[in-house]
Amino acid sequence: MRDDESLILGPAAAASEQAAGPPGTAPGHGATPGHGAGTAPGPGTALGPGTEHRPQLPLPWVRRLVLVALVLAALNLRPAITSLGALLKEVRDGLGMSGTMAGLLTSVPAACFALFGFAAPRLARRFGPGAVVCAGMAAITGGLVLRPLAGGTAVFLATSALALAGIAVSNVLMPVMVKRYFPDRVGTVTGVYSMALSLGTSVAAAVTVPLTDTMGGSWRAGLGVWAALAAVAVGPWLPLVRDRSGQRQEPRTGSVRSGAAPATGAPAAEPSASAARPAAPAPAHGERGRIGRSRTARMLAGYFGLQSTAAYVTMGWMPQIFRDAGLSADKAGLLLAVTMALGVPLSFVLPPLAARMRSQGPIVVALAVFQLAGFAGLWAAPAAAPWVWAVLLGFANCAFPLVLTMIGMRARSGAGVVRLSAFAQSTGYLLSIPGPILVGALNQASGGWGLPMALMLVLVVPQVACGVLAGRNRHVEDEL
């Protein structure tokens, strides 16, 4: 056995590997008689359905590096979006966009998250999640460098899509990295990177307009400056490209190594020609069945999609609503920053709280109440109490760290979390695409924000229904 296999397989698996003797030893002859020879499950013995090898935790310095990498990555998962929301009017004027096209632009994040999010699990299986997130940070950097150079709407959309592709795969794999490296601290670490995500979101919303003013008023410079932060995030992921510590080796049933002795200690029969070929391993627990058959997975996808719709309407259109109500660009950007900044402390508190609850339904309902009040205020009188509406929607936006926490809790295994995260996020983002487009189209058709905000109020009802059902104490593996 290699020296690092005990970190991957865990103590029980490592012990059975050693009991089997070195490679090439005859089956059943690698252990001292009377100490488990022929009784302890060797590496060739089929594992029972309830057997599970728990890996040892990765080395402390690896976990510290991963935590730094997660925080830096999270800081870069939203500035590409909120910096554009703060300068959307200037970008529209500069590129000659209509209201409907601007609505399409605010839906590009959801479309990219859905499209590229579906590819994340396959890429992670082939290259490892660390390598994929590292590539994602590089794609964000490249997209943010190229986007300000665009001379037309099509190129602007394409370069935005490059950055958003990197964000998409990173979105899906962040819960996977937490589950892999911090299985004992899922709620706490989810809170840390959710807090960093909210911090990056709010800072980009708050300082993009002032930075643009200090750089001569060019929206191109204001958008491009965020490439520097993305470039910094690439570095910590480079050592993790080939790291496999903390990877759970899921038990695979029904696969027996050629020539392995039976568990009873009987001598092994001479392998036949067909038996000499290794049997195809059965799927690991968490890899069986179509994930879409799980009701919990579908409800998580619905909740993720509807909360994403509300979040992207808030990030993409709220500054414009305030500016149309007579507020300055600086103040509108600051109000968006307040909305996003509230997620910083709340994202740290909410996931551990949700992780201790058997059902997260009560939190879903509480956040929905804030959402209803915030959108109702934007509908009725956006300029009357803008700070109140911004704070209310800031509380409502904490549905994002909540749903990430639920993804980690609704699957038992690492393989289950990968599949559930990809399904819930990709399907959810796909569902959220029409929302910002409809908001832009309704605003252009009606000339106001009454109809768009009425739409957002109606969507709260199915959001609560999906969230309450997804928050029940269930595991998707039991529903496949």
Q: Residue with structure tokens 């939190």?
A: 363
State the pLDDT at residue 150: 87
Write the pLDDT tens digit of every residue in 307-363.
Answer: 999 998 998 889 889 999 999 888 988 898 899 888 778 877 888 899 889 899 999
Q: What's the rounded Cα separation, in Å, for the pair 193 and 173?
A: 12
395-175-224 Cα angle (round to 5): 70
Cβ count within 10 A of residue 217: 11
Q: What is the DSSP letter of 385?
A: S
State the pLDDT at residue 441: 87
Write the pLDDT tens digit of every residue in 66-92.
Answer: 999 999 999 999 899 888 888 888 888
Dihedral sign from CA coordinates of 178, 181, 187, 193? negative
- Domains in the chain, CATH or no CATH each: 60-244+290-479 (1.20.1250.20)
State the pLDDT at residue 172: 81
State the pLDDT at residue 76: 94
State the pLDDT at residue 287: 58
**Per-residue pLDDT of the chain in tens (480 residues, 90 and over written 9):** 333 333 333 333 333 333 333 333 343 344 333 333 333 344 334 444 444 445 567 678 888 999 999 999 999 998 998 888 888 888 888 888 777 777 777 778 888 877 887 788 888 888 888 999 999 999 999 999 999 998 888 899 899 999 999 998 898 888 888 888 888 887 788 888 888 888 898 888 889 989 999 988 899 999 999 999 999 999 999 998 886 655 554 444 444 443 444 444 444 444 444 444 444 445 555 556 788 889 999 999 999 999 999 998 998 889 889 999 999 888 988 898 899 888 778 877 888 899 889 899 999 999 999 999 999 999 999 999 999 999 999 999 999 889 988 998 999 887 888 789 889 988 898 898 888 889 988 988 898 999 999 999 999 999 999 999 999 999 998 887
20-24-29 Cα angle (round to 5): 40
The per-residue DSSP string of 84-136 comes to HHHTHHHHHHHHT--HHHHHHHHHHHHHHHHHHHHHHHHHHHHH-HHHHHHHH
State the pLDDT at residue 5: 33
Q: What's the rounded Cα separation, in Å, for the pair 200 and 344?
A: 9
